[in-house]
């Protein structure tokens, strides 16, 4: 029936922020050796030539074309509703008509426009292609050592992407988004990444705005990188004149500045310094906004300044909204990627196509490992190990887990003493940290055996843990050197653990004068934060723990009601973990869920051992562990039905099989069960059924003793 594998919990990837650490090659402005004086006349001539040539077929829109009459009547700062009603819908419909006309034009016409672009303009495009290729062809995946980047094309594995949205977007928590991915009954139409702007059926109209959803670590940024590289190498989408990736993470850095669209492009794509406003109107542009979830903008589609001129200065968020709505450069294509919980920020009326990156299929998982390891024998062994462990196999649906698994298994397989294969997330992440410690030792030397930690190592890792924890609480994923200093870290210390925390945005540019750091993936930040918190608990650091738990309100825990009143960090593990769980359950978007799961996992001695002395080994009395397990099972989950699945995950992290077994028995029993299935059991049942490989012919809920509410749920 349902899998007996204890850990089927790839939902880790809830909300991470995983920076794909692209290599940021320096941009060589000197590629473009422009002679300003001569190019001006030349370019005007080119422009005229393009406009004349394509007047009949190509719609070359000056900024206000098509809507001038309306725009003139529109006050620059329009009240949202009136903008939307008087301009938004009407404009959109009219634009659609024009766009439809445009979309019937075969792509070669656009290509013709490129060909007719004169030498200087063509040179800008070529220069931009070279620069973009440099930026996209390597991936660094957690190491920022010079030259260490892998070629994207070597490791890039085709992803399973679908058109349309499989279900209503869950704005609360991405755990369920991930679970949804593995449901087998979703209607979906696969689409190739390079085709997302193509009209694929007669029913479809011109595709101007595409929104790509996908849970964290599923490969959105990689897709953007691959799309851009293929364009830059002249392989795909050559009807587009310029592909312009703008990561939201980077845009955050100029959140408080005022820019025009043109100056924004100059800042982020210095190779385009020489382009002018009129160039933008004749070229077919694609703007890619990667990682909307990471943006700190508030996109106000209902009330904003209307901008239709690429030289008009405003805030970045206003420029973004105008681009998306089509007020600014109405013929430009827009691609936005986002984790599902943040996608609601874009009104559906602005979006022509929604796609969803769903991760790797089983065969793609295998291909990933084959591509990753040049040693064929090693990749074969790794693939068969993953297949043998159902939990790992399911986790590898999400590419970032494939990456962590690959690092851990490569190390385990090439060691003499392999040890037990990781079965829980805490296991997997503890091994990941161990491998990073070992790599650091091998690289920077040290007298001890590679996995032994000195006091200085411990101190450094715990400082990183503190950084992770303090910023996790605040919801921060990026840090500046001041933040490092506040935790007693300096830049050189962080760089020795570049596989864990690393510097991003090394690009030379005026706006990036400050170095910015982040953990290689949010799940790694969550893990280190849990390591730090567990350390504070074992060291009885009352100040940190009390501060963390201070604001948590009591939730009804039938097993230990009232303990919150007299909480004392020196008391016991079960009380500490119980309070932390309560705190996490109070947070609606679940941003401490994974942290709490790791914290429960770290209470097991077996995981503490993997970390090679980083945590003080606790004398865990079996009774204490049993108390923690009992408490988890006794949480009154009726009050938190949406969140009870995380309690099940905590049990799994502690390698407790009892709930799993109970569910199995429920499923096997022929006669109607006497015992009432609680909300908690229902969540666990639903979860296990979704993750199971076996398809049930029938699930008759009437056979189970559940409340009506559960039935509806
Ligand atoms: N197509 C792919 N081929 C090979 N590896 C991939 C692929 N997609 C993703 N990965 C691996 O997964 C990691 C995370 O991917 P990526 O950063 O693209 O995810 P994301 O969806 O943008 O996540 P987030 O929402 O957290 O930013 C990459 O660093 C890489 O190791």
Dist CA 443 CA 626 (whole Å): 42
CA distances from 671 to 569, 665, 705 (A): 47, 11, 11
Q: How far apart are CA 713 and CA 709, in angstroms?
A: 6
Is residue 152 pLDDT above 60, yes or no? Answer: yes
Secondary structure (3-state) at 77: strand
DSSP character string of 350-365: G-SEEEEEEE--HHHH
d(Cα 233, Cα 137) in Å, to the nearest integer? 10
What is the three-class DSSP state of 404? Answer: helix
Looking from the CA of residue 400, the nearest atom of ligand 1 is 12
| 159-173, 345-359, 406-420, 435-449, range with the lowest pLDDT | 159-173
Mean pLDDT of 520-537: 90
For the segment 272-331, what is each residue's pLDDT rounded down to a tens digit? 988 889 889 888 999 999 999 878 788 889 888 899 999 999 999 999 999 999 999 999
Could you tell me which residue, 252 or 534, shows the higher pLDDT? Answer: 534
Q: Which residue has the higher pLDDT, 147 or 624?
A: 624
DSSP structural state of residue 445: -
What pLDDT sits at residue 58?
Answer: 25
Asked if 394 and 182 touch (Cβ cutoff 8 Å), the reply is yes
Placement of tokens 């620069």 in the chain: 131
Tell me which residue of 119, 4, 118, 135 sits closest to 50, measured CA to CA: 118
Pocket of ligand 1 contains residue 339 by CB under 6 Å:
yes
Residue 343 has pLDDT above 80, yes or no: yes
Task: Find out whether the beta carbon of 335 lies less than 6 Å from any atom of ligand 1.
Answer: no
Span 601-611, pLDDT tens digits? 999 998 998 88
Q: Cα-flanking dihedrals φ and ψ of residue 361, to 5°? A: -75, 175
Q: What is the pLDDT of residue 100?
A: 33
Mean per-residue pLDDT, 187-192: 83
Tell whether ligand 1 has an atom less than 6 A from the beta carbon of residue 150.
no
Percentage of the chain beyond pLDDT 70 is 66
**What is the structure's pLDDT at 425?**
87
Our answer on whether the CB atom of 680 is closer than 6 Å to any ligand 1 atom is no
Confirm or reject: Cβ of 157 under 6 Å from ligand 1. yes
Confidence bin at 710 (pLDDT 50/70/90): very low
Cα dihedral sign, 136-138-141-143: negative
Q: How far apart are CA 4 and CA 657, in angstroms?
A: 9
pLDDT at residue 669 in the model: 72
Residue 571's alpha-carbon distances to 568, 608, 620, 684, in angstroms, are 6, 20, 13, 31
> Which one of 357, 399, 524 would you pick to mutate in the ligand 1 pocket, going by the greatest count of ligand atoms within 8 A of its CB?
399
Q: Which of 25-29, 354-358, 513-517, 628-632 is the least confident region? A: 25-29
* Distance separating alpha carbons of residues 572 and 624, to the nearest angstrom: 8
What average pLDDT does the chain have? 73
Winning range, highest mean pLDDT, from 200-204, 375-379, 584-588, 648-652: 375-379
Report the range of poorest mean pLDDT among 11-20, 165-174, 265-274, 500-509: 11-20
Instruction: Please report the pLDDT score of residue 165 as a whole number.
Output: 57
DSSP 8-state assignment for residue 86: I
Q: How far away, in angstroms, is 349 Cα from ligand 1 center?
A: 28
H helix or E strand, kind and range, residue 460: helix 455-474
CATH class, domain 2-11+31-65+82-359, is alpha beta
pLDDT value for 8 = 31
Pairing, β 138-139 against β 150-151 = antiparallel
Supply the pLDDT for residue 624. 87
How far, in Å, from the CA of 194 to the mean position of ligand 1? 17
What is the distance between the alpha carbons of residues 260 and 152, in angstroms, rounded to a whole number? 32
* Ligand 1 near 404 CB (within 6 A): no
Determine the residue of 219, 338, 339, 367 to mutate for testing ligand 1's pocket, defined as the one with the most ligand atoms within 8 A of the Cβ atom.
219
Q: Quick one: which atom of ligand 1 is closest to the CA of 218?
A: 21
Question: What is the spatial distance between Cα 148 and Cα 664, in angstroms, rounded to a whole number?
Answer: 48
Q: How confident is the model at residue 575 (pLDDT cuts 50, 70, 90)?
A: confident
Check the CA dihedral 267-273-278-280 and report its sign: negative
CA of 34 to the centre of ligand 1 (A): 37
Does the beta carbon of 156 lie inside 6 Å of ligand 1? yes
How many Cβ atoms from other residues are within 10 Å of residue 496's Cβ? 16
Q: Tell me: pLDDT of 404 over 80.
A: yes
Cβ 590 under 6 angstroms from ligand 1: no
Higher pLDDT, 141 or 559: 141
Between 357 and 507, residue with greater pLDDT: 357
Cβ of 52: how many Cβ atoms within 10 Å?
Answer: 11
Q: How far is 478 from 539, CA to CA, in rounded Å?
A: 28
**Residue with CA closest to ligand 1 atom 14:** 217
Per-residue pLDDT averaged across 378-397, rounded?
85
Ligand 1 center to residue 454 CA distance, Å? 33
- Tens digits of residue pLDDT in 244-276: 999 888 888 788 889 999 999 998 998 998 888
Least reliable range by pLDDT among 17-26, 371-380, 438-447, 523-532: 17-26
Question: 479 CB under 6 A from ligand 1?
Answer: no
Q: Alpha-carbon torsion 258, 259, 265, 270, what sign?
A: negative
Q: Is the CB of 368 under 6 A from ligand 1?
A: yes
Q: Of 310, 324, 520, whose CA–CA distance to 436 is shortest?
A: 520
Q: Please check the confidence at residue 335 and state whether its pLDDT lies above 80.
A: yes
DSSP, collapsed to helix, strand or coil, labels residue 558 as: coil
| pLDDT top residue among 705 and 409 | 409
Distance of CA 546 to the CA centre of its chain: 32
Report CA(654)–ligand 1 centroid distance (Å): 28
Name the β-bridge partners of 22: 139
Long-range pairs of 56-63 with CB within 8 A, sequence gap ≥ 24: 57/105, 57/109, 58/105, 58/109, 58/110, 58/112, 58/113, 59/98, 59/101, 59/102, 59/331, 60/281, 60/282, 61/281, 61/330, 61/331, 62/281, 63/281, 63/308, 63/309, 63/310, 63/328, 63/329
Q: Is the pLDDT of residue 158 over 80?
A: yes
Question: 512 pLDDT exceeds 50?
Answer: yes
Q: Is the CB of 403 under 6 A from ligand 1?
A: yes
The answer on pLDDT for 208 being more than 70 is yes
Most confident of 60-69, 498-507, 587-596: 587-596
Buried b (16+ CB within 10 A) or exposed e, 145-175: eeeebbebeebbbebbbbbebbeebbeebbb
Give the residue-averaged pLDDT of 672-688.
72
Query: Encoding tokens for residue 662?
Result: 């109970």
Non-local (6+) Cβ contacts of 545 within 8 A are 533, 536, 537, 569, 576
Tokens found for residue 112: 């013709």
Distance between CA atoms of residues 413 and 385, nearest Å: 10
For residue 189, the model assigns a pLDDT of 87
CA dihedral 471, 477, 482, 486 (to 10 degrees): 20
Sorted by where each begins, the domain ranges of the chain are 2-11+31-65+82-359, 369-551, 657-713
- 334: closest CA among 348, 320, 313, 344? 320
107 burial type by CB count under 10 A (0-12 exposed, 13-18 middle, 19+ buried): middle
pLDDT at 120: 73
Position in ligand 1 atom list of the atom nearest CA 142: 29
131 and 271 Cβ atoms separated by less than 8 Å:
yes
Other C-beta atoms lying within 10 Å of the C-beta of residue 394: 22
Residue 422's pLDDT band, with cuts at 50, 70 and 90, is: confident
User: Which contacts qualify for 183-192: CB closer than 8 Å, 24 or more apart?
Assistant: 183/690, 184/695, 188/162, 188/163, 188/164, 188/356, 188/358, 189/162, 189/163, 189/164, 190/160, 190/161, 190/162, 190/163, 191/161, 191/162, 191/163, 191/355, 192/161
pLDDT digits (tens, 9 = 90+) for 626-669: 999 998 888 876 666 667 788 888 998 998 888 888 777 777 77
SS3 519: strand
CA of 374 to the centre of ligand 1 (A): 20
Length of the chain: 713
511: Cβ contacts below 8 Å, ≥ 6 apart: 253, 254, 257, 267
The predicted pLDDT at position 398 comes to 87
What are the φ/ψ torsions at residue 669 (nearest 5 degrees)?
A: -65, 135
What pLDDT is attached to residue 443? 66
> Has residue 600 got a pLDDT over 90?
yes
CA-nearest of 348, 352, 438, 365 to 401 is: 365
Q: Which residue has the higher pLDDT, 441 or 658?
A: 658
Q: Assess whether the C-beta atom of 219 lies below 6 angstroms from ligand 1.
A: yes
Q: What ipTM does this complex have?
A: 0.99
Q: Taking 80 as the threshold, does the pLDDT of residue 690 lie above it? A: no
The CA-based diameter of the chain, rounded to the nearest angstrom, is 89
Q: What is the pLDDT of residue 20?
A: 28
- Which of 532, 704, 548 minimizes the C-alpha distance to 615? 532
């Amino acid at each position: 029936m349902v899998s007996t594998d204890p850990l089927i919990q790839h939902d880790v990837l809830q909300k991470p922020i995983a920076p794909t650490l692209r290599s940021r090659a320096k941009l060589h402005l000197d590629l473009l050796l422009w002679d300003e004086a001569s190019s001006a006349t030349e370019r005007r001539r080119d422009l005229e030539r393009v406009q004349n040539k394509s007047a009949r077929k190509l719609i070359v829109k000056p900024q206000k074309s098509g809507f001038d009459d309306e725009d003139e009547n529109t006050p620059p700062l329009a009240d949202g509703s009136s903008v939307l009603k008087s301009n938004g819908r009407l404009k959109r419909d009219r634009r659609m008509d024009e766009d439809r006309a445009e979309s019937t034009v075969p792509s070669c016409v656009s290509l013709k426009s490129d060909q007719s672009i004169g030498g200087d303009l063509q040179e800008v495009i070529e220069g931009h292609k070279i620069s973009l290729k440099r930026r996209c062809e390597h991936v660094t995946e957690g190491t920022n050592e010079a030259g260490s980047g892998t070629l994207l094309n070597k490791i890039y594995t085709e992803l399973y992407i679908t058109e349309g949205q499989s279900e209503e977007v869950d704005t609360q928590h991405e755990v369920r988004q991930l679970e949804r991915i593995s449901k087998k009954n979703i209607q979906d139409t696969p689409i190739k990444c390079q085709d997302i702007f193509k009209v694929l059926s007669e029913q479809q109209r011109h595709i101007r705005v595409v929104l790509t959803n996908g849970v964290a670590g599923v490969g959105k940024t990689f897709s953007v990188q691959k799309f851009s590289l293929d364009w830059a190498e002249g392989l795909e989408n050559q009807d587009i004149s310029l592909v312009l990736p703008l990561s939201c993470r980077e845009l955050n850095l100029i959140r408080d500045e005022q820019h025009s669209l043109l100056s924004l492009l100059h800042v982020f794509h210095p190779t385009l310094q020489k382009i002018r406003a009129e160039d933008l109107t004749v070229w077919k542009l694609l703007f890619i906004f990667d990682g909307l979830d990471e943006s700190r903008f508030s996109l106000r589609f209902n009330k904003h300044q209307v901008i239709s001129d690429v030289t008009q200065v405003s805030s970045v968020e206003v420029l973004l909204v105008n681009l998306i709505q089509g007020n600014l450069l109405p013929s430009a294509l827009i691609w936005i990627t986002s984790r599902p919980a943040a996608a609601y920020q874009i009104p559906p009326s602005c979006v022509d196509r929604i796609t969803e990156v769903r991760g790797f299929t089983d065969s793609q998982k295998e291909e990933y490992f084959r591509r990753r390891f040049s040693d064929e024998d090693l990749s074969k062994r790794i693939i068969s190990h993953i297949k043998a462990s159902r939990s790992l196999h399911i986790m590898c649906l999400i590419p970032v887990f494939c990456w962590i698994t690959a690092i851990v298994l490569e190390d385990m397989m090439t060691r003499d003493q392999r040890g037990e294969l990781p079965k829980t997330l805490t296991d997997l992440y503890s091994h990941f940290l161990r491998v990073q410690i070992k790599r650091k030792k091998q690289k920077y030397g040290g007298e001890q055996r590679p996995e032994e930690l000195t006091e200085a190592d411990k101190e450094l890792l715990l400082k990183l843990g503190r950084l992770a924890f303090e910023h996790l609480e605040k919801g921060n994923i990026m840090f500046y050197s001041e933040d490092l200093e506040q935790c007693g870290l300096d830049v050189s210390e962080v760089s020795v653990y570049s596989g864990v925390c690393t510097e991003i945005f090394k690009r030379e540019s005026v706006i990036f004068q400050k170095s910015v750091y982040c953990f290689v993936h949010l799940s790694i930040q969550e893990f280190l934060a849990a390591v730090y918190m567990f350390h504070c608990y074992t060291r009885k650091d009352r100040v940190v723990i009390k501060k963390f738990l201070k604001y948590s309100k009591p939730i009804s825990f039938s097993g230990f009601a009232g303990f919150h009143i007299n909480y004392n960090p020196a008391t016991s593990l079960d009380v500490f973990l119980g309070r932390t769980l309560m705190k996490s359950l109070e947070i609606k978007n679940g941003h401490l869920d994974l942290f709490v799961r790791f914290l429960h996992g770290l209470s097991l001695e077996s995981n503490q051992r993997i970390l090679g002395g980083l945590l003080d080994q606790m004398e865990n009395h079996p009774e204490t562990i049993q108390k923690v397990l009992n408490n988890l099972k006794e949480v009154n989950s009726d009050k938190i039905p949406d969140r009870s699945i995380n309690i099940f995950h905590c049990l799994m992290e502690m390698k407790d099989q009892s709930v799993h077994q109970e569910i199995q028995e429920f499923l096997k029993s022929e006669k109607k069960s006497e015992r009432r299935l609680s909300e908690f059991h229902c969540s666990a049942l639903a979860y296990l059924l979704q993750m199971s490989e076996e398809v049930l012919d029938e699930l008759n809920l009437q056979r189970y003793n559940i409340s009506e509410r559960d039935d509806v749920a």
